[in-house]
Amino acid sequence: MTEDMMRLGREKRFLVLLGLICLALIGGALYMQIVLGEAPCPLCILQRYALLFIAIFAFIGAAMPTRRSLTVFEGLVVLSAIGGIVAAGRHVYILANPAVSCGLDVLQPIVDGLPLAAVFPLGFQVDGFCSTAYPPVFGLSLAQWALLAFVLTSVLVPLGIYRNRK
């Protein structure tokens, strides 16, 4: 096996791991919603969509046979992470400034109108407010953890491409 193929394999294994982490984060969010009673707001749901898109694109990318097709899906992973940064960043801002609303009246029908809200309402339907502060996990709010995960994804995926392609 050539070193180039080994590097590509390492890149694909990273994508599989990233996809599994994203699915685990969605599972954790569902646990907090169902077991702990923490109702998801519109921005929470948008962050779940971003995680789901990252996972899907990461898994598809890992299955791609060529470097070019792998790079396309890695680009889609990064774009999904940027979308997550926007949603999580806005959520962090709202939690820091409780007088600001996430626009539940505006965002709820849009988010609830997305396809997964009809297919899997428990996981993708709005049920709460963005300004509701739940207990922190290891000192950070869920929105802060999500923001960190999205930023790391948007930095580590291109870094992996650079590292494995030089």
The 10s digit of each residue's pLDDT in 11-69 is: 899 999 999 999 999 999 999 899 988 888 889 999 999 999 999 999 999 999 888 88
The 10s digit of each residue's pLDDT in 94-110 is: 888 877 766 556 777 78
Q: Pull the structure tokens for residue 156.
A: 């580590």
Q: Is the pLDDT of residue 161 over 70?
A: yes
The 10s digit of each residue's pLDDT in 116-156 is: 888 888 788 887 777 777 888 888 888 899 999 999 999 99
User: How many CB atoms are closer than 10 A to CB 141?
Assistant: 18
CB-based contacts of 92, cutoff 8 Å, min separation 6: 141, 143, 144, 147
pTM of the entire structure?
0.89
Q: Which residues pair with residue 140 across a beta bridge?
A: 137
Q: Is the pLDDT of residue 166 over 70?
A: no
Residue 13 CA to residue 148 CA, distance in Å, equals 21
- The SS3 assignment for 96 reads helix
Residue 146 CA to residue 155 CA, distance in Å, equals 14
Topology of the domain comprising 3-165: Bromodomain-like (1.20.1550)
DSSP designation for 137: B
- The SS3 assignment for 166 reads coil
Which candidate, 118, 130, 161, places its Cα nearest to that of 44? 130
pLDDT at residue number 102? 65
pLDDT at residue number 1? 61
Which amino acid belongs to residue 45? Answer: I
* Long-range Cβ contact pairs of 65-71 (< 8 A, separation 24 or more): 67/8, 67/165, 70/8, 70/11, 70/12, 71/161
